[in-house]
């Protein structure tokens, strides 16, 4: 499914940006012109997304060659050449903005993720993403999280059970909601979101596998971990930032999920120039 999503996302990006043709290039660039371009870092960042750049140019023109000189996940320095692209000049220009948009976005996510991962270095905690992603780009954005050193939470609604506040309200309580999922025949772990200690105990007694502590304070998280005593995997979520993440990790929580990794990462600055 992810490969189909990737190809469809690139197809839609081409439809959006190229449409029925790059008018400027059609008028100014001879049809048989060959060219070479360099993709260069204009600031320091963690590189992620070059496989998608290759996919973009392959979708436009399979004869375009992309030679990457920096490994995925590497710390790139300002001015460093990331890749050289050669082939039909019109094809290079047609793929420039689409490929850079993706590369800048995914590298930005990897860079932010790396910053969070480094903050909790030495502690047995995983930094995870969420479903707060750009529609159509989830596969690429979650890839950026992994390249940055984080882990992926469920990909969509179909591959993980996560009982949230609205499910709990409709089902009639934490215990009822967990019980309903346990009655179904599946091999998925059951995660439930709780906002207080009463709900935490209810989730533990109902047999939840993973419990998400929603917007709890650091002191509350410490107590929650003590209450759980290894009976469930504990995930912390809500209001996490680079200043408080170390303290959250030190509570003993197993996972820290951060929506900002994908919804608030700043795109890094990268250029592509014909040489």
Residue 195: how many other CB atoms lie within 10 Å: 17
**Domain CATH number, residue 179:** 3.20.20.70
Identify the active-site residue in 58, 80, 214, 220: 214
Q: Is the domain of 106 the same as that of 133?
A: no
The average confidence (pLDDT) of the chain is: 96
pLDDT (tens digit per residue) in 57-105 = 999 999 999 999 999 999 999 999 999 999 999 999 999 999 999 999 9
The total domain count for the chain is: 2
Helices of type H across 120-217: 138-147, 165-171, 174-182, 197-206
pLDDT (tens digit per residue) in 200-252 = 999 999 999 999 999 999 999 999 999 999 999 999 999 999 999 999 999 99
Contact 251, 225 (CB under 8 A): yes
Q: Is the domain of 99 the same as that of 183?
A: no
Q: Is the domain of 22 the same as that of 71?
A: yes
Q: Is the domain of 96 the same as that of 37?
A: yes
The yes-or-no answer on residue 32 being catalytic is no
* % of the chain with per-residue pLDDT over 70: 100
Its pTM stands at 0.96
3-state secondary structure of 219: helix
Give the mean model confidence (pLDDT) for residues 145-156: 97
pLDDT at 97: 98
pLDDT at 94: 98
Identify the active-site residue in 54, 97, 146, 231: 97
Q: Is the domain of 252 the same as that of 130?
A: yes
pLDDT at 19: 96
Q: Is the domain of 132 the same as that of 255?
A: yes
pLDDT at 245: 98
The yes-or-no answer on residue 214 being catalytic is yes
* Rounded distance between C-alpha atoms, residue 214 and residue 202, angstroms: 15
**Domain around 235:** 118-263
3-state secondary structure of 159: coil
Give the mean model confidence (pLDDT) for residues 118-135: 97
pLDDT at 31: 96
Identify the active-site residue in 11, 77, 78, 164: 164
Q: Is the domain of 92 the same as that of 146?
A: no
pLDDT at 211: 98
**Domain CATH number, residue 88:** 3.90.1170.20
User: What is the DSSP code (8-state) at residue 14?
Assistant: H
Q: Tell me which long-range contacts 250-253 makes (C-beta under 8 A, separation of at least 24).
A: 250/123, 251/218, 251/221, 251/222, 251/225, 252/222, 252/225, 253/125, 253/213, 253/221, 253/225
The closest alpha carbon to 190, from 176, 126, 139, 227, belongs to 176
The yes-or-no answer on residue 97 being catalytic is yes
Q: Is the domain of 105 the same as that of 132?
A: no
Q: Is the domain of 71 the same as that of 124?
A: no
For the purposes of burial, counting CB atoms within 10 Å of the CB of 155, is it exposed (0-12), middle (13-18) or buried (19 or more)? middle
pLDDT at 159: 93
Q: Is the domain of 251 the same as that of 131?
A: yes
The yes-or-no answer on residue 195 being catalytic is no
Query: Could you give phi then psi for residue 225, rounded to 5 degrees?
Result: -65, -40
186: pLDDT confidence band, cut at 50, 70 and 90?
confident
Identify the active-site residue in 55, 72, 191, 193: 193
Report CA Rg, the chain. Answer: 22
pLDDT at 21: 95
Does the structure show a pLDDT above 90 at 261? yes
* % of the chain with per-residue pLDDT over 90: 96
Q: Is the domain of 77 the same as that of 130?
A: no
pLDDT (tens digit per residue) in 19-53 = 999 999 999 999 999 999 999 999 999 999 999 99
* Rounded distance between C-alpha atoms, residue 52 and residue 14, angstroms: 13
Does the structure show a pLDDT above 90 at 2? no
Burial track 21-50 (b if 16+ CB lie within 10 A, e otherwise) = ebeebeeebeeeeebebebbbeeebbbbbb
Identify the active-site residue in 54, 132, 176, 201: 132
Does the structure show a pLDDT above 70 at 1? no
pLDDT at 3: 84
Q: Is the domain of 155 the same as that of 101?
A: no
pLDDT at 185: 75
Contact 173, 163 (CB under 8 A): no
């Amino acid at each position: 499914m992810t490969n189909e999503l990737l190809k469809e996302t690139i197809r839609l990006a081409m439809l959006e940006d190229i449409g029925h043709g790059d008018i400027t290039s059609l008028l100014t660039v001879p049809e048989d012109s060959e060219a070479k371009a360099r993709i260069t870092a204009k600031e320091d960042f963690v590189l992620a997304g070059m496989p998608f750049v290759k996919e973009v140019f392959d979708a436009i023109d399979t004869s375009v060659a992309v030679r990457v000189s920096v490994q995925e996940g590497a710390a790139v320095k300002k001015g460093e050449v990331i890749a050289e692209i050669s082939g039909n000049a019109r094809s290079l220009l047609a793929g420039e903005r689409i490929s850079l948009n993706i590369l800048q976005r995914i590298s930005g996510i990897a860079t932010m993720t790396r910053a969070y991962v480094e903050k909790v270095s030495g502690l047995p905690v995983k930094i995870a993403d969420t479903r707060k992603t750009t529609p159509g780009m989830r596969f690429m954005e979650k890839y950026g999280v992994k390249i940055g050193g984080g882990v992926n939470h469920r990909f969509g609604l179909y591959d993980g059970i996560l009982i949230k506040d609205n499910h709990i309200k409709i089902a009639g309580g934490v215990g009822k909601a967990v019980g309903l999922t346990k009655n179904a025949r599946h091999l998925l772990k059951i995660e439930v979101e709780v906002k207080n200690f009463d709900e935490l105990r209810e989730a533990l007694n109902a047999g939840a596998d993973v419990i998400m502590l929603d917007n709890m304070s650091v002191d509350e998280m410490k107590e929650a971990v003590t209450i759980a005593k290894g009976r469930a995997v504990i995930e912390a979520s809500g209001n996490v930032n680079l200043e408080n993440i170390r303290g959250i990790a030190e509570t003993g929580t197993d996972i820290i999920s951060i929506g900002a990794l994908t919804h608030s990462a700043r795109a890094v600055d990268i250029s592509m120039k014909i040489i």
